[in-house]
Structure 1
Amino acid sequence: MKEITVQEVKKSLENSKKLNLIDVREVAEIQEGHISGIINIPLGLLEFRLHELNKNTPYIMICRSGGRSGQATEFLSYHGYDATNMVGGMLAWEDKSK
């Protein structure tokens, strides 16, 4: 499974790089805080919304801690999509000590 760190994602965004971020948390979790510009597809709906994704587009998968996004990354990769898991998820994103 491909992985990317929170620091790598932040640096790319700071450099105005276009990233395709998919947050697989539930809607209520998203409302508590999220990265600007994400697409929200809850993990339980991912298989039903595959038609919205392009196999030629790289996606970075995000969740609270990296577990659900890891599952989503494996699922998408299995189906031929270019998916990368953001290690540590939003907990690492919001950790002020990093």
Structure 2
Amino acid sequence: MFGLNIKEIDAPELAQRLENDHDHVCVVDVREPVEVSAGTIPGAVHIPMRSIPWHAGELERDKDLVIICRSGARSAQVCAFLQQQGFDNVYNLRGGLIAWARAGLPAALPRTA
């Protein structure tokens, strides 16, 4: 996709990383505010996709960035953009929050950037 190799992580693997190594993982929810208001991955930061270009400099380059959306399509686009900006530590949540919910994993209200 986009000529780049988008790295992916699945929901159970992300849940395990958040439980065991949360200090080295930052989850960024790129959905629209109305979508996020229904819930997101606990601890996720909300930065709408359209705002990523203005907030990319605020993202922590020393952490693995897991980008999430509803199904994984928008987050893949954000991963590609961030890779083009020199980030090599970005991961797309495969299947998005649909896969997270199907795995029976918890949701919470979002944090804002």
SS in 1 for 2:22: coil
- TM-score normalised by structure 1 residue count: 0.89
1:59 deviates by 0.4
2:63 to 42, 51, 57: 57
The answer for unaligned runs of 5 or more in structure 1 is none
How many residues are paired up? 98
1:3 aligns with 2:8: yes
One-letter amino acid of the structure 1 residue matched with residue 77 of structure 2:
Q
Distance in 1 separating the partners of 2:19 and 2:56: 29
* Alignment-derived partner of residue 30 in structure 2: 24
- Worse-matched range after superposition: 8-17 or 44-53: 8-17
- Worse-matched range after superposition: 55-64 or 11-20: 11-20
SS in 2 for 1:12: helix
* Alignment-derived partner of residue 94 in structure 1: 101
Within a 5 Å distance, the mapping from 1:36-47 to structure 2 comes to 36-47=42-53
1:12 aligns with 2:11: no
Could you report, residue by residue, the CA deviation over 1:17-72 in whole angstroms, capped at 9, with x for unpaired residues? 33200000011111111111111111111001122123333200000000000000
- Worse-matched range after superposition: 86-95 or 10-19: 10-19
- TM-score normalised by structure 2 residue count: 0.78
> How much is the aligned-residue C-alpha RMSD, in angstroms?
1.8
Change (3 A) 1:80 1:16: closer
1:96 deviates by 4.8
- Worse-matched range after superposition: 13-22 or 27-36: 13-22
One-letter amino acid of the structure 2 residue matched with residue 84 of structure 1:
Y
Distance in 2 separating the partners of 1:77 and 1:16: 23
* Identity rate, percent: 36
1:97 deviates by 7.0
The answer for unaligned runs of 5 or more in structure 2 is 1-5, 106-113
